């Protein structure tokens, strides 16, 4: 049972998945920091003088009733940048590898060597006139 679990963990795709998740978490943290420390100040600058930028407080006496559009814009930017990096760094190269591995879709597969040899024999016999009328090889 332990050997089976070890074999499962040592399979390439499980390790690759774990590495991909770790890279994704680190990248999300990096993009989140970019949004917090770069995008939010720009949104606050454009949105107004307060620290919230594009924010709207529903009740004046309750700070928990703030609708923070700057944070929503930040989350949207983090999502778009993360998805773009995943698509261009992982999905596109994997699709390219799969297409190279399978061969081009318009390219016909070569027949087996025996079939090619039999076709050559058939063509040679047809050129020599060795086949009887009405028969095909």
Q: What is the DSSP letter of 39?
A: I
pLDDT at 12 over 80: no
pLDDT score for 122: 93
Domains, the chain, in order of start with CATH, read: 2-128 (1.10.1200.120)
pLDDT score for 101: 75
Least confident range of 8-12, 42-46, 48-52, 94-98: 48-52
Torsion over CA of 68, 71, 77 and 79, rounded to 10 degrees?
A: -110
**Dihedral sign from CA coordinates of 93, 99, 103, 105:** negative
- CA geometry: angle 99, 101, 104, nearest 5 deg: 45
- What spatial distance separates the first Cα and last Cα of the chain, rounded to whole Å? 58
pLDDT at 123 over 90: yes
pTM, to two decimals: 0.46
């Amino acid at each position: 049972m332990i050997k089976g679990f070890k074999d499962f963990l040592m399979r390439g795709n499980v390790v690759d998945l774990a590495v991909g998740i770790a890279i994704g978490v680190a990248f999300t943290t990096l993009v989140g920091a970019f949004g917090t420390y770069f995008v939010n100040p720009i949104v606050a600058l454009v949105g107004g003088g307060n620290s919230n930028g594009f924010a709207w407080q529903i009740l004046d006496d309750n700070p928990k009733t703030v609708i923070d559009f700057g944070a929503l814009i930040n989350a949207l930017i983090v999502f778009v940048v993360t998805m773009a990096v995943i698509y261009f760094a992982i999905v596109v190269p994997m699709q390219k590898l799969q297409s190279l591995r399978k061969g081009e879709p318009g390219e016909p597969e070569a027949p087996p060597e025996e079939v090619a040899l039999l076709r050559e024999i058939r063509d040679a016999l047809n050129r020599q006139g060795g086949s009887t009328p009405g028969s095909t090889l």
